Amino acid sequence: MKEININVEHLTRVEGHGNIVLNAKNGKVEKVMWEVSEAPRLFEAFVRGKPYHQLAQITSRICGICSIGHTLASLKATEAAMDIEISPQSELLRRLAIHGENMQSHILHLGYLISPDLFGTGSVVPLVRTHTDAVLAVVKLHRLSNEFSEVVCGRTTHPTNLIPGGFYKTPSPLKLKEYRQKLLDSVETANLVAGIILDNAGALPDFTRETEFIALTAKDEYALYDGLIGSTDAGTYPVDEYVDVVNEFVVPQSTAKYCKNKREAFMVGALARFNLNYDHLSPLAKQWAKKFGLKPVCHNPFMNNVAQLVEFVHSIEDSVSLIDRLMEDYKDEPRPEITPKAGRGVGVVDVPRGILFHEYVYDKDGYCASANCVIPTNQNHNNIQHDFEAFAPSLLDKPEKEIELNLEMLVRAYDPCISCSTHFLNVEWKR
């Protein structure tokens, strides 16, 4: 029998550094491992001793793609700690911000990182020649999402407009109206891209492993900005109890911590949100889910890609209706004034890659005493490892190249943002 040794050191088309190791002998898997080799980031230590108004600026630098999500989680934690209330208008605008980021991140992942797998090329560059229209459509949508984020947040990456208590400057209503129209016009382009992905969705392997899904849930909306922590296994938890949900622990092969809740692992991300909040999706998003045959609860991690596409369409439609709600009574709000006080606060938002927690403790002058950030990809690592263990044995008959590709696709489906997820090594987890 043949011997298989696969070692993908530094998987490509993901953010950060991760390795795949597979050793098999005589048709049996001896070792299959998802290794995270990224260096620790130490952000939780950076922010200690910093004043409250700098925290969002610093923690947004954890990631270049989810910087808006990190900013919002950070602001929510600060606001919870200091009992700051934000105006309904600011809250709606923040929901727009998160939609902008969701669109930007999802189209980047699907269009540039996943499409090469579907078309069997090594990167998106050869596709420019063969599928010019599709690539241009993706670029158009990506650009629109980025510009939309800039209108709301001041900057596409590392936003400057989002500050504790609301907004530094109320976004211009004229610009918002302009982008409402642009978003409506983009539905057609989104349908085109979705259609092309649907035609090639056969390349996504059919693999199912039952797992737990965790995401934000709310009674009356597709929760991204606010809600309770929901689990497909255990109902809902209050946000403050997030530590008991994620249960972080350290493993030798990874510089990122692993997580688990009711089962051996759980998954967060677009698919988790889809599974938990399907009812609140917009009509067009539901249509596309139906075309792909995606129904809750779906246990195929590869369908995370499709869930992202569905969410992309949902974000367009929901943004349009949010702007309509905003325009009913849009005011130029003054910059919020804040009196710092001591306290502990947890902020949670569902960012493109899953549920994100920030927790801060402040002293009476508003200086950070301690911080904890639990990043979505962090919570997915354990599930990737368990998926590997279940998926690898079924692949052994295939040629080595194909096994490698399938394992890589599995990791990519999670849209991991590895460099975000590595932090704080020397924590001992006790049962």
Using alpha carbons, select from 417, 222, 413, 226 the residue that is nearest to residue 316: 222
Total residues at interface with another protein (CB under 8 A) = 12
Q: CB 155 → another protein: shortest distance, Å?
A: 7
Q: Does 154 bind another protein (CB under 8 A)?
A: yes
Write out the binding residues for another protein, residues 39-68 only, by CB under 8 A. 50-51, 54, 57-58
Task: Please report where in the chains the tokens 């696709």 appear, as a residue.
Answer: 409
Residue closer to another protein (CB basis): 48 or 325? 48
Q: Does 175 bind another protein (CB under 8 A)?
A: no
Q: CB 161 → another protein: shortest distance, Å?
A: 7
Binding another protein (rule: CB under 8 A), the pick from 59, 149, 161, 385 is: 161
Q: Does 178 bind another protein (CB under 8 A)?
A: no
CA distances in angstroms from 295 to 6, 36, 278, 299, listed in the order given? 34, 32, 8, 10
Q: Does 182 bind another protein (CB under 8 A)?
A: no
**Stretch near another protein under the rule CB under 8 A, chosen from 158-166, 191-199, 200-208, 219-227:** 158-166
Residue closer to another protein (CB basis): 171 or 230? 171
Binding another protein (rule: CB under 8 A), the pick from 17, 155, 209, 286 is: 155
Other Cβ atoms within 10 Å of 330 Cβ, number: 18
List, in order, residues 6 or more apart from 127 with CB less than 8 Å away: 115, 116, 119, 121, 134, 135
Q: CB 38 → another protein: shortest distance, Å?
A: 18
Residue closer to another protein (CB basis): 61 or 299? 61
Q: CB 34 → another protein: shortest distance, Å?
A: 29
Q: CB 169 → another protein: shortest distance, Å?
A: 6
Q: Does 90 bind another protein (CB under 8 A)?
A: no
Residue closer to another protein (CB basis): 37 or 160? 160
Task: Please report where in the chains the tokens 């953010």 appear, as a residue.
Answer: 15
Q: Does 169 bind another protein (CB under 8 A)?
A: yes
Q: CB 383 → another protein: shortest distance, Å?
A: 34
Angstrom distance (rounded) from CA 211 to CA 275:
12
Q: CB 57 → another protein: shortest distance, Å?
A: 6
Residue closer to another protein (CB basis): 65 or 107? 65
Q: Does 158 bind another protein (CB under 8 A)?
A: yes
Q: Does 168 bind another protein (CB under 8 A)?
A: yes
Q: How many CA atoms lie within 13 A of 146 on its CB side?
A: 13
**Stretch near another protein under the rule CB under 8 A, chosen from 124-132, 153-161, 207-215, 310-318:** 153-161
Q: CB 147 → another protein: shortest distance, Å?
A: 13
Q: Does 340 bind another protein (CB under 8 A)?
A: no
Q: CB 156 → another protein: shortest distance, Å?
A: 11
**Stretch near another protein under the rule CB under 8 A, chosen from 157-165, 202-210, 231-239, 402-410:** 157-165
138 upstream amide cis, omega within 30 of 0? no
Q: Does 111 bind another protein (CB under 8 A)?
A: no
Q: CB 15 → another protein: shortest distance, Å?
A: 18
Residue closer to another protein (CB basis): 100 or 154? 154
Instruction: Kindly state the tokens that stand for 352.
Output: 């493109």
Q: What does the binding site for another protein look like in residue numbers (CB under 8 A)? A: 50-51, 54, 57-58, 154-155, 158, 160-161, 168-169
